[in-house]
Structure 1
Amino acid sequence: MTDPTVGRPRRTGRAARLLSGALVLGLTGGVVAIAVAAPPTEARPVPAATVDVAPTATTLVCPGPLQLPDDTLSGDSAFDRVPVAPVERVTAFDTVTSATASLTVLGADPVALTGGTGSVASPDAATVLRAEPVDGEPARVAGATSSVVTDGDLRGLSAASCARPSADVWLVGGSTELESTADLVVVNPGATPADVTVEVWGPSGAVDLANGGTFLVAPGAERVLSLPGVAAEQRRIAVRVTAAGGQVSAYLQDSLLDGFTPRGTDLVTAGTGPATTQVVPGISVVATEVDAADAGALRLLVPGDEDATASVRLLGPDGDVELPGAQELDLPAGEVTDVSLGGLAAGSYTAVVESTEAVVAGAMIAREGKAGELDEGPRLERAWAASATPGSGLVAVPAGAAGTLTLTAVPTGDEGAPAPSPTASATPTPEPTEGQRPDPEADAAPEGPTVTVTLRAYGAAGVVAEKDVEVPLGSTLPYAVKTLGTGVVGVEVVAPDDDAVDLSWALSAAVSHAIGPLISVLQPVTDAEAVTRAQVREGSRVGLD
């Protein structure tokens, strides 16, 4: 439910922000360290120390149900903008049947994962997945939310992985232009209020939000902010959500119409923070012209003050593919830029962005379907893919969807890395490149350097299948989850123990429909994101300024 107090000045929020800089909790020995008072002009940075952190309960936040349009605003009570009810479910699994994992819809009682799996049907709010440490190690669990709408304004598959809460969330995707909706949902799973600040960038730079961009989220609650109401008519956007006093999860519900014709609904989920190298997996495209409606796009933003020059390469089925016009991109600071993915051969790709300044990145893919009875043109389905941290991890398969893993072996450039070499392909690209592999339908094994990736499928009985897959270096390999067996709830991907290669991967989900497929891209919960070490520093000052 949208909170009408969003944007209202908060005395307690201001105090929380000011006091958060005054107190630092020392994690070693359970001692609380209090900063020493000093004049603001004498404040100096204090070196941070890295300490081990005892594992705590793993907490993941699963997106809640879709935000439905308010038909009372249209003035026509007979017109139903969502004529079919969304089919919504949260599914989860635990790699160890620890009997501690549970799903809790905000405001409801926990539902235990029985035999290592569990689900919640038709949740009326966000859901929290929690599990206690096992044998002194953080619990390894994963979950996913899926919403299927087959007709109306919100037609589409909106699916996302349950994500770790954070104090700094970047969402790259969405729009607030006319006939677009962009609902920002912020969830606070903690026990203390979170003081939230929202920043938005558009094609012309940072956007001044009409409500000031700050609000409080109560413990165990969620807040919804309609971005078109505070940052109107931005054709493309990127959003940053920061929190003080607690960690939050945030996502963006993006929907688009063309008159009365649905043009796709999906969730924009958190990607990695600003960095000079970004990797976006799970970009599955069909062959299109550059300016086609279903061409898809790569979205980039330099959030700092300095302009950047970036290069984009795509690692596809046949290896490294140049994206026309993207070898040397000028990225003005603060301006959101889209790069078309049109003109590519059909297949699965991973985008690698290298920039002279830190950037954030995401990608949109699309599928064109048939026109409905009242549509003026074909319907469109869209999905957003976020940048991801490489490495081993877990992903849950959305209920009722067919899943395909996209596995990419990204060379790191370290010395000793095997160099990809051209290989024969049953269906070569127009310009064969390094790291090619045979056509997936062919019987021939991949040639050239490969890395071994272990896939482990989980179901109601625990591990139901395990298989080693050879992924060509510098290429993207799609792998259908159904190959691992039936009743698969989630998959564990074990990356090769090789510093010369990063494994970047995602799960593409699809639901068949008569008018056209419904699609979504889910990012994994990687082991690299688990918090087992932290940096602490002594406060350099105390007081209010």
Structure 2
Amino acid sequence: MSPRTTPERRLRRRSATRAVVASLAVVAVTGSLAAFGDDLWSAGALDVPAGEQVAVEARTATLVCPAPVTLADPGTTGDSEFGSTPVETASTLQVAAFGAATTSVLSPLSTGSASGAERTVQGADPSAYALLEQSGSAEAVRSTTSAGDGSDTSASASSLTASGDLRGLAAASCAAPGVDQWLVGGGTELGSSSRLTLANPSRTPATVTLELWGPSGPIDPAGPTTYLVPPGEQVSTLVEGLAAQQRGIVVRASSTGALVTATLQHSVLDGLTARGVDLVVAGEAPATAQVLAGLTVEASEIGDDDVASVRLLAPEGDATATIMVLGADGQRVLRGAQTADLVAGTVTDVSLSGLPAGTYSVVVQSDAPVVAGAVTTQTGKADRDEPLLGTPVDRTWIASQRGSATSPSSVVLPDGTQGTVSLVALPAEVDGSTDLAAQVPIVYDEEAADDAAGDDATDEPTTDATAGDPTSWDPSTLGTLEVYGTDGRLIVDQDVELALGQTTTVDLADLVESSAARGDDGAEIGAVRFVPDPQSSTVAAWVLTARAAGVTGSVSTLLPTVPSAAQDAIVVRRSPTVGLPRS
């Protein structure tokens, strides 16, 4: 007797039959489509409208200015004369809005409590300048500018302290937020403090994950590495609480949910002697070439401590890096440190001790991606009335950058400081395989020349004959340097001509004085702008070095702000899927 057919069995049979029929139908349709080939689509089965050009009347951009410097332990001794901050820190914001169509709104970011009031800076032709007091937090600068006419906004934040643990100048240009920030600088060894600040200027929360590296390799943090940064707020943490006793660190901050900025406030104290304070800002992501412009070094002997140095990290794999030091006359020999073997994940500091005093740029080329930063120090004068405080030193961290071949870039001079612009001419594209060294003459000082060529010592630098004569360098026009006053007007402009690989400096005060001698009545400097020459085959990487005359030895280096890419028009088209159900 045959088994009884149940409803479940009948259902399975019907399902199997339907599956076979559906499979045959799919095969048949697929075969038909294959027979028609591309003709089916080219015949207009899916008609995509061509769209139309719509002019962009304005564009918006957001910058974030770093928070003022603050002590890791703001406690007091009870007597202000012997406290950590016997004088207050003057923290200011400087804003330059280029073009009458530019409007900038500054909004303090909250630290969990109520934030301050908004302030507006209206642009002018050619520019408008504003000097504002800074609250105790980072500030967002939201600007609306006219598209395609060169309008933009640049801003900087600065903190100046005349005495105490934070003695010195800490300044930085306000920067655009991003999803990946590499901070190459700072340390947490005894006497050194690094405070990390994460700022979220957007309207959505951001989740930020930290990775840290030190001289011994990747760091296993002693605390949390993931931080929630609410919209319109900032979050700070002391890195020494995550990674103590690290002579040199590199921090990577990766965000999801919103764009953020990350900065490190690095300060050093040797007993009662201030050894400098500055802000470490984000540099370029790992690449086989990194550029560090405007390193002003003091005279030193090989082996001296706490002098200029270059910090390197190969985060992905072992690398061999070549370090080129470019000056006004050519490339300088970095004895014993021309190349560095980098172990993956290990922070390496390459000392620049022994270089003659001067201003240089550094190009790092490697066979694997690296990140790079640099630090230089400036010595102040000891206070005769305070012999126990010793001779103060200030320091400045310099982040890596890429020069722009097309967009103007600008820096706003910190209030109460004097500025020097340092520029270096580089190929439009440079990576680890670019043979830059062969195109730049080598200049030896007397000791290096003796070691290299066996020549008699001379008082003048000598040039390697095999590398060509510096006088044979052919300078070309890189662009125009424009200096604007605090009254907004263009004070003076000057063409910049450099040979490939050459570094030069422009003292802004001297430049303004020369314009006064030509009949200009002079003005207080507010901002400086570099406009690249579109016909130039080379690009300029540049920085502004600021010094406060009232605080000897104070120094800080500011990278230029490059406006976000603008579009004069966009293509608007109706989607061919409008009205269709969502998958």
Q: Same fold (TM over 0.5)?
A: yes
Cα displacement (A) at 1:265:
0.5
Correspondences of 1:16-55 after superposition (within 5 Å) = none
Q: Could you say what the CA RMSD is over the residues aligned between the two structures, in angstroms? A: 3.1
Cα displacement (A) at 1:80:
1.1
Q: Of 555, 562, 573, which residue of structure 2 is paired with 1:519?
A: 555
Counterpart Cα distance in 2 of 1:314 and 1:422:
10
Query: Residue in 1 aligned with 2:263?
Result: 251
Q: Of 390, 393, 397, which residue of structure 1 is paired with 2:413?
A: 397
Residues 237-260 of structure 1: CA deviation (Å, up to 9, x unaligned): 011111100000110000011111
> Cα distance 1:429–1:173, how it changes in 2: closer, same or farther (>3 A)?
same
Counterpart Cα distance in 1 of 2:371 and 2:278:
19
Counterpart Cα distance in 2 of 1:435 and 1:80:
57
Cα displacement (A) at 1:171:
0.5
Counterpart Cα distance in 2 of 1:500 and 1:211:
49
Residues 114-138 of structure 1: CA deviation (Å, up to 9, x unaligned): 4422222142211111211304668
Correspondences of 1:94-173 after superposition (within 5 Å) = 94-106=97-109, 107-114=115-122, 115=124, 116-135=128-147, 139-173=151-185
> Cα distance 1:437–1:489, how it changes in 2: closer, same or farther (>3 A)?
farther
* 3-state SS of paired residue (2:240): helix
* 3-state SS of paired residue (2:193): strand
Q: Of 326, 344, 351, which residue of structure 1 is paired with 2:337?
A: 326
Greater alpha carbon shift after TM alignment, 370-379 vs 139-148: 370-379
Correspondences of 1:341-360 after superposition (within 5 Å) = 341-360=352-371
* 3-state SS of paired residue (2:241): helix
Q: Of 464, 470, 475, which residue of structure 1 is paired with 2:502?
A: 475
| Corresponding letter in the other structure for 2:353 | G
Cα displacement (A) at 1:471:
2.1
Structure 1's unaligned 5+ residue stretches are 1-51, 439-445, 535-545
> Cα distance 1:492–1:435, how it changes in 2: closer, same or farther (>3 A)?
farther
Whether 1:456 aligns to 2:468 is no
Query: Residue in 1 aligned with 2:461?
Result: 429
Counterpart Cα distance in 2 of 1:71 and 1:249:
24
Contact 1:296 1:341 survives alignment (8 Å): yes
Residues 452-488 of structure 1: CA deviation (Å, up to 9, x unaligned): 4201222323433222122233210100122145322
Cα displacement (A) at 1:394:
1.2
* 3-state SS of paired residue (1:132): strand
Query: Residue in 2 aligned with 1:490?
Result: 527
Equivalent residue pairs, number = 472
* 3-state SS of paired residue (1:371): coil
TM-score normalised per structure 2: 0.75
Contact 2:72 2:195 survives alignment (8 Å): no
> Cα distance 1:342–1:261, how it changes in 2: closer, same or farther (>3 A)?
same
Contact 2:422 2:544 survives alignment (8 Å): yes
Cα displacement (A) at 1:108:
2.5
* 3-state SS of paired residue (1:367): strand
> Cα distance 1:470–1:519, how it changes in 2: closer, same or farther (>3 A)?
same
Query: Residue in 1 aligned with 2:543?
Result: 506
Contact 2:332 2:442 survives alignment (8 Å): no
Counterpart Cα distance in 1 of 2:350 and 2:366:
15
> Cα distance 1:67–1:135, how it changes in 2: closer, same or farther (>3 A)?
same
Contact 1:194 1:216 survives alignment (8 Å): yes
Query: Residue in 2 aligned with 1:279?
Result: 291
Q: Of 372, 378, 391, which residue of structure 2 is paired with 1:367?
A: 378
Contact 1:91 1:144 survives alignment (8 Å): yes
TM-score normalised per structure 1: 0.80
Q: Of 406, 411, 422, which residue of structure 2 is paired with 1:406?
A: 422
Query: Residue in 2 aligned with 1:24?
Result: none
Counterpart Cα distance in 2 of 1:77 and 1:308:
50
Residues 426-467 of structure 1: CA deviation (Å, up to 9, x unaligned): x953446868879xxxxxxx9633334201222323433222
Counterpart Cα distance in 1 of 2:545 and 2:417:
9
Contact 1:62 1:162 survives alignment (8 Å): yes
Q: Identity of aligned pairs, percent?
A: 38
* 3-state SS of paired residue (2:477): strand
Query: Residue in 2 aligned with 1:465?
Result: 492
Cα displacement (A) at 1:99:
4.8
Counterpart Cα distance in 2 of 1:531 and 1:218:
29
Whether 1:231 aligns to 2:243 is yes
| Corresponding letter in the other structure for 2:70 | Q
Residues 357-395 of structure 1: CA deviation (Å, up to 9, x unaligned): 100000000012233424364221111011012124111
| Corresponding letter in the other structure for 1:486 | A
Query: Residue in 2 aligned with 1:303?
Result: 315
Q: Which has the greater radius of gyration? A: 2
Greater alpha carbon shift after TM alignment, 72-81 vs 337-346: 72-81
Residues 47-74 of structure 1: CA deviation (Å, up to 9, x unaligned): xxxxx99774111111121123424487
Contact 1:164 1:249 survives alignment (8 Å): yes
Counterpart Cα distance in 2 of 1:117 and 1:344:
39
Correspondences of 1:63-102 after superposition (within 5 Å) = 63-72=66-75, 79-102=82-105
Contact 1:57 1:139 survives alignment (8 Å): no
Cα displacement (A) at 1:110:
2.4
Cα displacement (A) at 1:79:
4.2
> Cα distance 1:394–1:453, how it changes in 2: closer, same or farther (>3 A)?
same
Correspondences of 1:1-16 after superposition (within 5 Å) = none
Counterpart Cα distance in 1 of 2:326 and 2:101:
39
Q: Of 253, 274, 278, which residue of structure 2 is paired with 1:262?
A: 274
Whether 1:388 aligns to 2:401 is yes
Counterpart Cα distance in 1 of 2:221 and 2:181:
18
Counterpart Cα distance in 2 of 1:92 and 1:491:
12
Residues 340-359 of structure 1: CA deviation (Å, up to 9, x unaligned): 11111111111000011100
| Corresponding letter in the other structure for 2:553 | P
Counterpart Cα distance in 2 of 1:216 and 1:447:
53
Correspondences of 1:533-544 after superposition (within 5 Å) = none
> Cα distance 1:358–1:416, how it changes in 2: closer, same or farther (>3 A)?
closer
Higher helix share: 2
Q: Which has the higher contact order (CA 8 A, sep 6+)?
A: 1
Counterpart Cα distance in 2 of 1:413 and 1:436:
25
> Cα distance 1:123–1:447, how it changes in 2: closer, same or farther (>3 A)?
same
